[in-house]
Chains A and B, each alone.
Chain A
Amino acid sequence: MSDPTGRKAVAAVWRIDSARIVGALTRYTGDFALAEDLAQEALAEALVTWPREGVPNNPAGWLLTVGRRRAIDAFRRRSTRDEKYAALAHNLAEGGALTGATDPGPAPDDVLWDPDQIDDDTLALMFTSCHPVLSREAGVALTLRVIGGLTSDEIARAFLVPTATVQARITRAKKTLGAAKVPFEVPPVNERPARLAQVLSVIYLIFTEGSSASSGDEVIRLDLAGEAQRLARIMSRLMPSEPEVHSLLALLELTAARFPARRGPDGETVLLEDQDRRRWDRSAIARGRAALAKAADAGRGYGYYGLQAAIAECHAVAPSVPETDWNRIVVLYEALGRLAPSPVVELNRAVAVSMARGPAAALPIVDDLAGGDAFKDSHQLPGVRGELLRRLGRLDEARTELEQAIRLCGNERERAVLTRKLADL
């Protein structure tokens, strides 16, 4: 097999097996940062060797063996300074990795490839990559590379930053984890809720980055959303007793279900109320609802993601806007506002109230928000206010609000929608 097939095979194997490779090497060396380096070195070696000599029979095993051999080399180098490493190098070499064969067979790595350990390792990797000592950007980059199996190039393209920036973030992240002596483990029960929330927020951030229409090549961004769904699926398998994990997966599935309908023929944004619901992805809706049902089964009520997923479910099952259960959506937004108060939630609640009880009931909520400065430079508040005033027949005021919204709106597609509304007045 010749280049570029060999190179593509390296990327393919990494996409499928990165978490297992880094997980196994971390367990083997006891050092996550070193394991990630070793995996990258093994990949670099594969990029040279596979195009030339063909893809080995067991590609993941090959990478693991090369990584392990490099680990022994690294420990031997350090052993001249430190006896602890001499002992480590000796123990590691006992496994028989130093055969010197060009195609390291899979046999010695069966030990590392222990299926009972892999799941624990993957979970520990998730918690390490999303550790609170890391910045959001660093956590996102590390998670996508180590568990998502994306290359630095792919991450850079998805986030519209130079590859060097991504590499620097990852290097810094590994240093930070090392300096903070973060243990490679699933956190103990008392720390778990906070740490799990951190993992879920990183996954959610990847998804929103992937689904936001604000910038970038849409195709690549959708991949990012798909990547987040994959991470959420992995988490829901590994932590089946955590309702918020299922809730997050449900939220992502139910939101992504609407992706096929959110663009018109010319790429313009189609608002939820105008979407052709026949284009919603029915299987994604079914998967989302199943995940949400699992979350509900825990009997602890909905959390932050559960409430949002439940709102998304109300839309997903409604045949049309008027047939939507807006009363339930109002209740869910009220609960969300108590759990995680925010002006955005309030504004959404106002929209739901206007649908359930009419614009007159919603206007005071919006007016309260207008008193604060949370939406000072945002088009959202005047956009909603203008729409309420229009429905109340106060057209002059509606016009003023919509003009204000158009002035503030930075997104061309959304501005087009507002401009059309203004013209229709």
Chain B
Amino acid sequence: MKFMLIWRVTSDEAWSNLGEIDFDQMLETVGRFNEELIEAGVLLAAEGLAPAEEGVVVDFSSEPPVVTDGPYGETKELFNGFYLINVPSMADAIEWAKRTPMTAAGFKTEIRRVPTIDEFPADNEWIKKERAWRERTGQL
């Protein structure tokens, strides 16, 4: 089963504490966790995101949509990175999520299951196309 572990920093205080941590130390802590995921054969993908201040939001509340620079909403709504893992059950995903590095009060890891292509109607032509693409690119 595929799960996405979404890493969130949900308070301004936690966010500023994060800035205090030694960068090399952070690389090592995160790196060790990544190595563990790789060795266990569960890691499919992982990305960390650039600061939300660099982000752009396209808001569809109005017509035409409004494009604004910078973070959208409040800190607790932001997410900062993700792991995509392949494990036998939600329980395993929880155990890995508990091991997320660089955590303290105000940090959260959200776990979302990623449905497989088999959960969509197999005879739908778009699903067929998607399946073909997934087979071709090894992403089934």
Q: Which residues of A contact B (CB under 8 A)?
A: 5, 8-9, 11-13, 15-16, 59, 226, 229-230, 233-234, 237, 260, 278-283
User: Is B136 an interface position by the 8 A CB rule?
Assistant: yes
**Residue in B39, B91, B138, B140 whose beta carbon sits within 8 Å of that of A5 in the complex:** B91
CB neighbours (8 Å) of B46 from chain A are none
Closest to B40 in A: A230
Closest to A10 in B: B91
The residue among A15, A230, A283 with the most chain B CB atoms within 10 A of its own CB is A15
A16 touches B95 (CB 8 A): yes
A16 touches B40 (CB 8 A): yes
CB-CB under 8 A for A281 and B39, given A12-B89, A15-B92, A16-B96: no
- Count the B residues whose beta carbon is within 8 Å of the partner chain — how many? 18
**CA of A226 to CA of B87, assembled, Å:** 12
A103 to chain B, nearest CB (A): 15
A14 to chain B, nearest CB (A): 10
**CA of A301 to CA of B136, assembled, Å:** 35
A9 touches B39 (CB 8 A): no
A230 touches B136 (CB 8 A): no
CB neighbours (8 Å) of B91 from chain A are 5, 8-9, 11-12
A281 touches B138 (CB 8 A): yes
Chain A proximity mask over B68-99: 1 for CB below 8 Å, otherwise 0? 00000000000000000001111110111000
User: Is B106 an interface position by the 8 A CB rule?
Assistant: no
**CA of A164 to CA of B140, assembled, Å:** 35
User: Is B56 an interface position by the 8 A CB rule?
Assistant: no
CB neighbours (8 Å) of B140 from chain A are 260
A13 touches B95 (CB 8 A): yes
The residue among B39, B88, B91, B140 with the most chain A CB atoms within 10 A of its own CB is B91
Closest to B87 in A: A12
CB-CB under 8 A for A12 and B41, given A260-B140, A281-B138: no
